[in-house]
Amino acid sequence: MSWFSRRARGTGATPTKLDREATRDDLAALEAFIASRQGVEFYLEPETTATDTTVVAIAHDGEWIRRRTGTPRAAGAIARKHAVPLYEAARTGYPERMRTWNRAHPERHAR
């Protein structure tokens, strides 16, 4: 009796994405956030098997949004256009002000 099959599953198949790709609405939401908040910084999150490349936009008070950008290049273009600093989240981590804001707004994570 065999517990595990050694046969290949779906040879030649490409990995599927579990989530949707970036849209114009995602990019517009980032631009609206920049226009309506002060001191916004971008934190780039790499593409995974579940999501497209994303950016976390964090305002000076720690309020934040996460939106898909499609590619790091698209994120960089928005950052340059609006003179917003862009950091790699994997290298720098997220600022403490974001965690402070999250603790003050628990309803935001009750989704």
67-93: per-residue pLDDT in tens?
999 899 999 999 999 999 999 999 999
The reply to whether 17 falls in a domain is no
User: Do 66 and 89 contact (CB within 8 A), yes or no?
Assistant: no
The reply to whether 95 falls in a domain is yes
9-44: per-residue pLDDT in tens?
544 445 545 556 788 999 999 999 999 999 999 999
36-70: per-residue pLDDT in tens?
999 999 999 998 888 889 999 999 999 999 999 98
Q: How many Cα atoms are found within 13 Å in the side-chain-facing hemisphere of 95?
A: 19
110 has pLDDT over 70 = no
Residue 28 confidence (pLDDT):
95
The reply to whether 65 falls in a domain is yes
Q: Tally the domains of the chain.
A: 1
The reply to whether 98 falls in a domain is yes
Task: Quote the domain boundaries for residue 57.
Answer: 24-108
pTM: 0.79
The reply to whether 19 falls in a domain is no
The reply to whether 93 falls in a domain is yes
The reply to whether 4 falls in a domain is no
